Amino acid sequence: MPLNYYFDLMSQPSRAVYMFLNITKVPFVPKPVALRKGEHNGDDFKKINPFSLVPAIEDDGWCLTESIAISKYLIQKYGLADKWFPKDLKKQARVEEYLHWQHFNTRGSCAMLFQQLLILPVATGHKTDPDLVESSRIRIRRMVGQLEAYFLNERAYLAGDDISIADIFGACELMQLYGCHEEGLYESSPKVKAWLERVKAETKPYFDEAHAMIYRARTRFHAVVSKL
């Protein structure tokens, strides 16, 4: 029986799991949840995830929240390729290392800048806070430098020589910068830029499919800014 997948592709973790489900051919029934319409706060969805967050899955009546937990569950349940989350202890630890690090680094910094430059102006009609924008850019530059110097130092991917779930999560977070025309912050690093292109190539056509809303947000960005 296919599992039910609840998601909104404006959510970075939702995109990561959506791509992973499609790449690995895990059977699922898509259950879109429109965050902009407040559908995540409805009583029906709270039965799936009482925290009112996406993504989430329902597998034959059993529910699970949190994107990384979902990904690991899928790997074990369906016996997916070892590269995604290796059984070798040290290789697995490298994947875990990035997944733990990303929350306050890749995710935290990119999400803040996207929110300041696009989400808040759309929601409130107010101009961005230049101090918060600049502090976010400083954080991102530092984060990109750490990706290059540590995670991509002599590695093709974030945790080793093969793609893993770490790369899917990392790429989805960096794409927030593309959505608000700040991709120069990561393209300034040849290593990081080349890594992202490898991830795109490894995950096509699902990468572009999952990021269609980000591409539209990028187009909308100039229209939003010109009105402020």
Q: Where are the domains of the chain?
A: 3-80, 89-226
The answer to whether the Cα torsion of 110, 69, 80, 86 is positive or negative is positive
- When pLDDT is cut at 50, 70 and 90, the band that residue 128 belongs to is confident
> What pTM was estimated for this model as a whole?
0.95
Task: Answer for the pair 55, 70: CB distance below 8 angstroms, yes or no.
Answer: yes
* Sequential DSSP letters for 101-169: HGGGTHHHHHHHHHIIIIIHHHHH-PPP-HHHHHHHHHHHHHHHHHIIIIITTT-SBTTBSS--HHHHH
The answer to whether the Cα torsion of 123, 127, 129, 133 is positive or negative is positive
Q: What is the CATH number of domain 89-226?
A: 1.20.1050.10
Mean pLDDT of 100-126: 91
Q: What is the CATH number of domain 3-80?
A: 3.40.30.10
Tell me the C-alpha distance between 85 and 80, whole Å. 9
**At 32, which helix (H) or strand (E)?**
strand 28-32
Q: What percent of the chain lies above the pLDDT cut of 90?
A: 89
**Beta strand pairing call for 3-7 and 62-65:** unpaired
- When pLDDT is cut at 50, 70 and 90, the band that residue 180 belongs to is very high
Tell me the C-alpha distance between 190 and 51, whole Å. 39
Q: What percent of the chain lies above the pLDDT cut of 70?
A: 96
Mean pLDDT of 136-142: 98
Tell me the C-alpha distance between 42 and 27, whole Å. 26
